[in-house]
Chains A and B, each alone.
Chain A
Amino acid sequence: MTDPVVSAMVFYALATFTLVAAGFVALSNNIVHSAFALFATLFGMAGLYAFLSADLLAIVQMLVYVGGISVLVLFAVMLTSGLDDSRHSNSTTRLAGGIAVLLAVAAAAFVAASAVPSGTESAITPMTALIGDALLGRFVLPFEVVSVVLLAALLGGVTLARGVKGGDR
């Protein structure tokens, strides 16, 4: 999509969608609504990745965050009792926490905006093979370390869920 008008239209539509959904996550009184809005936010981000011609990243975002993490969050929220009570969220650090997060995000955005060169147009290039090569070539060690960490997490989860043999669970 190289046409500037279409690009601008698509970008603003996606950005508005993502931001509105993100606002809904933060401001909604109903935690289930927040969870569904989180799904919409992550979906909008996948759309932004696709718009920036990072096709593999967009699809992986869909696969991991929309199809996996969101569903887990929804399960957790739905299986929690007393859903309609909006005071479930942590209210002790409400204002101070909000301001701190806002400042941190603003600082991160400033750093990111100054570090990334802007205004470079690039055509859509198939990146899947390049990413695959990089992951299993130059970055194979970090890749394997991450998979070991994930395996440890998985085993830990299984151990916790199984409980102690002969125990009362």
Chain B
Amino acid sequence: MSHLDELESHSIYLMREAFHAFERPAMLWSMGKDSNVLVWLAMKAFAGHIPFPVVHVDTTYEFPEMLDFRAWAKEHYGLDLIVWVNQEARARGIGYENNDPVTVTHELKTVALQQVLAAHKFDALITGIRRDEDSTRAKERYFSPRNSDFEWDYKDQPPEFWNHFTTEVGAGEHVRVQPLLDWNEIDIWRYLEREKVPLPGMYFSREGKRFRSLGCMPISKPVESNAATIADIIEELKTTKTSERAGRAQDHHERNAMQKLRAKGFM
């Protein structure tokens, strides 16, 4: 059994445990590479039928190409897709034109997520976060409880071992289920390559640039790259030492921005 097989099977195990344990689970989907691995794994876990809604928190600053991909993938996988926009914040004029990236991310992602969670009474959110993305994520559990204010009590996390998890929540609480926690960036690419998982084209080099990580249009910057295939990308990652989210402005706007976002409930 290869490392990828091991990661795949464990992720599938986690998704099935989540589906069994919770009454109203949902899966977050951003159309990004990790998200697409998540959808792919869910298709495998449930033998070709994802038995819970897939939620896209739409900031309204999405790349048009990503929206095309969203429409295509919804049909292709037969997703029960919920698209959610924080209309209230947009009506107030919250946006990159008027606000800093941390504020926008908080309003259009975190608050939007709170809204969709409340509207659909989800008790578990399956997310695609990985430990290697950001150092604050290094401490995460596979099943990570959040209180009704979305807060993550990282100082007193429940024990988690031998494939036993926190599977019950109180009223208003939910659990973040994180099947990709053990994957790193290169595992994701190797898996995408092995499984031939469909991806948006923006990850691949066009005119010497490609996106390594995709977020909102105004704050996602491409990196210099000639990697036109997944194999090229894997070669490139072997030598790079810049961090994956270096192109994401909200992480760097101020010191510890990521930590602040996460304490408020961002993924």
| A, B from the same assembly | no
